[in-house]
Structure 1
């Protein structure tokens, strides 16, 4: 591994360790929500992240509420109005060494055959790119999207994505990155789009195992994703563990007004609350030379990061060192900890 700053672990949107922290102004439009309020919330979140030494954060895709809603022009100028506040929050993130990103909602689809949906999607992407630009974030602050839908023809959908990429505004192309997904477009598909367009790629580990039509090998595929990032830019990836617990589902009882709760097996696309440290370490050891940041997509969010930070020095100290985690306590102390937990 090259001599660089430690790799970072990150969390998305909601902070669970402190329920008082809000990720965005979630008031309905009648109450006049505003980006300025969301930035006050974000400022407090950055303070919390710094205290907990968490140096990567995915901001809410609703940070600027209704900013692109076609029927609410009263909100359309809020990003421009908040230029000073955006600059200040960006300077704070840089000072604290916190890498920022957006992951626009699933409704942002640029390969749709519906021009109006594409137009709305581009408007959302443009607004979020403008916020990152006004925050003066470097090229590692990205907008992460999926390829979109099949619409009855996978190859035509891929071709349409590539064509629409060429028409995106420059600030969006500069920030956009593409992630493999778990249902429609796998690693091979997004690699094909990278070759056609040059778009940078985000490798999602769980998605890779859920959808890999060509049977690609994980480590070599991941290295190809890393290589999609230009020299001098640190790539990032997504990691989550699959949920293994039975699920409780309420279903109506035929012929009655009652419902009953049934236990059903897990769906492997579902995310677990925490990260399996053995699975995480096994993957990291397959690419010992690589340097990248990891966004954890566990349901427990920052609590999952804190647990993984404690687990790695104990179970995989070599992996923990790549993130700057100190070695674990002595074996005797670990035994005492285990006994106390029983």
Structure 2
């Protein structure tokens, strides 16, 4: 616990020294369960009360995909007041309480102070079948095995139709979206193009005007890749 608090203090101090406003936050998961999530939640609440005001000012908690569901972090919020970041993919991976999407996100958004725009995370799961090398027991040799998709893993790009469906279901709610994708900026550029093509109404919400001629997929990726290479 002491090491975690020290890490939070260092990250908070860095943001303070950069003179960033309250929009700059430190996102964490609830962590270990310590036997069960109820015990882990109680431990988290107690630790939160020991944090400095500087850390609490920037700390936000995210629902995860393995241990602490959206319902569980909402209960932690009730005991602490910590703002909550909603993670879309995690919600579908871990929602044993069967909460409804829009109502859950609305509850998450309400946990944020009025001076800060709420944030949510969006990503798509990996879907490809992968070939992996596995060591053969009692041998130096390796064999190729087929690994089915891990739905908790992040894809290279964001599936546009999932994103469009989510955004339309959240009409009227105000928040920022952080994309989590392996291809980083390329995923953002591709999603911008996809929104302009498939959902101009959603593109407009993000200030994207429908271009007279959309760039083809290959040229968009090639240009972005060239820029990335130049930076390296």
TM-score, normalised by the number of residues in structure 2? 0.90
Please report how far the alpha carbon of residue 337 of structure 1 lies from its aligned counterpart in structure 2 after TM superposition.
5.0
Counterpart check, 1:225 vs 2:100: no
Native 8 Å contact 1:165 1:197 kept in 2: yes
TM-score, normalised by the number of residues in structure 1? 0.62
Residue 239 (structure 1) aligned to one of 122, 125, 136: 122
Residue 310 (structure 1) aligned to one of 180, 193, 198: 193
What pairs up with 1:27-42 in 2 under 5 angstroms?
A: none
Native 8 Å contact 1:126 1:172 kept in 2: yes
Structure 1: runs of 5 or more not aligned: 1-117
Please report how far the alpha carbon of residue 140 of structure 1 lies from its aligned counterpart in structure 2 after TM superposition.
1.4
Native 8 Å contact 1:317 1:328 kept in 2: no
Native 8 Å contact 1:314 1:328 kept in 2: no
Q: Deviations over 1:117-158 (max 9, x none)?
A: x11111111011111112221111100000011111221110
Please report how far the alpha carbon of residue 255 of structure 1 lies from its aligned counterpart in structure 2 after TM superposition.
4.7
Q: Distance in 2 between the 1:153 and 1:268 partners? A: 23
Query: Could you say which residue in structure 2 is the equivalent of 1:145?
Result: 28
Query: Could you say which residue in structure 2 is the equivalent of 1:253?
Result: 136
Please report how far the alpha carbon of residue 314 of structure 1 lies from its aligned counterpart in structure 2 after TM superposition.
0.7
The SS at the match of 2:203 is helix
Counterpart check, 1:274 vs 2:196: no
Counterpart check, 1:201 vs 2:84: yes
Q: Distance in 1 between the 2:165 and 2:50 partners? A: 41
CA RMSD of aligned residues (A): 1.6
Query: Could you say which residue in structure 1 is the equivalent of 2:13?
Result: 130
Please report how far the alpha carbon of residue 253 of structure 1 lies from its aligned counterpart in structure 2 after TM superposition.
2.7
Q: Deviations over 1:78-131 (max 9, x none)?
A: xxxxxxxxxxxxxxxxxxxxxxxxxxxxxxxxxxxxxxxx11111111011111
Query: Could you say which residue in structure 1 is the equivalent of 2:229?
Result: none
Q: Distance in 1 between the 2:211 and 2:166 partners? A: 20
* Count of residues in correspondence between the two structures: 218
The SS at the match of 1:298 is coil
Larger RCO: Structure 1 or Structure 2 (Cα < 8 Å, ≥ 6 residues apart)? Answer: 1
